[in-house]
Amino acid sequence: MFTNTKQLFFLSIFISIVFSLTSCAIAPKHNPIPEERLGKMALIPGIPQARIWGDEGPLYLQEWLTQSHEELMQHYSGIMGQRHNYLAISAGGKDGAFSAGLLVGWTAEGTRPEFTMVTGISTGALAAPFAYLGSAYDSQLKEMYTSYSTIDFLSKRNILSVLTGPSLFDTKPLEKLIAKYIDQKVMEEIAAEHRKGRRLWIATTNLDAGRPMIWNIGAIASSDVPGTLELIHKVVLAAASIPGAFPPVFIEVETGGKRYKEMHVDGGVFSQVFVTPVHIKWRDVARKLKVKGIPRAYLIRNSSFDSEWKIVSPDIESISGKTINLLLKTQGICDIYRIYAASKRDGIDFNLAYIPDDFDIEPSETFDPVYMGKLFDLGYQLAKNGYPWVKKPPVLE
């Protein structure tokens, strides 16, 4: 409560300055695709197979299904006539430590397969490249999820930057970490596996088009276009950039003979986890690739299923925070039901792992290394002892 006119005077001056700065703020440079072309797939210059819309099947799928065995062997020699294992790593922020621990523990247990295809959303996009490359990168996974705190991922903006800018936080620290872990060597190894036919998919949200987008990281890594490593860094950063909290990522594209910049944010806006792009009958793909036996899909959900009983303070931050968390949890559960139904339709063996409902440790900050370390250890021990993969969503159990 303001008790005198002097305080009111200074408050009015402050508000006037803030609104003045907000009204004349310079937004990040954005050269968006014209509205009449938003529904068409813009291309990454020089990499036509870099991505597909996440809400429709690839336009080239029917043509692909007509290819001969000899043609397919040129691009899928490493997965033709083999057993298939697919891994999907969900969103979850700091709780991504669970998937990292589970993968490393799975290696220690001795039955972790090579994954034919790996997908990642949000924090899952950070872990997916290393899960794709296999157990040789377990130490990197552990380090990423147990050695850093909030300050290593994010930096706070001052109040005026928040009011006049695109986000609450700056992700420069996260950009540096992504560049540190996904280097030239990692990109070349991803490219080598892609040439065998294995696939690494990461999801973002094209905010201008209002549609999900799935990026073929191996196709990007395999291209000889300059700047491919930087593009991969941008895609991974965008995949983990929660809108409003983190700034969007602008990616250069080409359509109609002109260059534009698309605005991309966290793929979790549309989905918390995915195995294959929607509208694809994977049974047809598996038959074409002459998959041996029944394909197996492994989903790692970086969250629990149970509702969190916690008293909410009657303020806007607490109420909105809890509401958004509930929305994301419910969205993730619906995604798993959808994947389960598609797996039954396409003859895929469904396997699910998730954070146990009795894990009740509270983090002390946004990215608390102590909290993440304990969650990593939990995932590690569960997998090392032989994780009891769930064969259908728990509510159906």
Sort residue 73 into left (φ over 0), alpha (ψ -120 to 50) or beta.
Answer: alpha
**pLDDT value, residue 302:** 96
Q: Which amino acid is at 27?
A: A
**pLDDT value, residue 35:** 76
Separation CA 217–CA 228 (nearest Å): 10
Are 199 and 224 in contact by the 8 Å Cβ rule? The answer is no
**pLDDT value, residue 238:** 95
- Whose tokens are 């991309």? That residue is 264
Counting as low any pLDDT under 50, the low residues of the chain are 1-25
Which runs of consecutive H residues, i.e. helices, occur in the chain? 5-23, 61-65, 69-76, 96-109, 123-133, 138-146, 150-153, 159-164, 172-181, 184-196, 217-222, 228-239, 282-288, 316-346, 369-384
**pLDDT value, residue 162:** 52
**pLDDT value, residue 244:** 74
Cα distances (Å, whole numbers) of residue 265 to 41, 150, 312: 17, 20, 28
**pLDDT value, residue 320:** 67
**What confidence tens digit (pLDDT) does each residue in 264-315 have?**
999 999 999 999 877 788 999 999 999 999 999 999 999 988 766 677 777 7
Using alpha carbons, select from 170, 166, 169, 200 the residue that is nearest to residue 182.
200
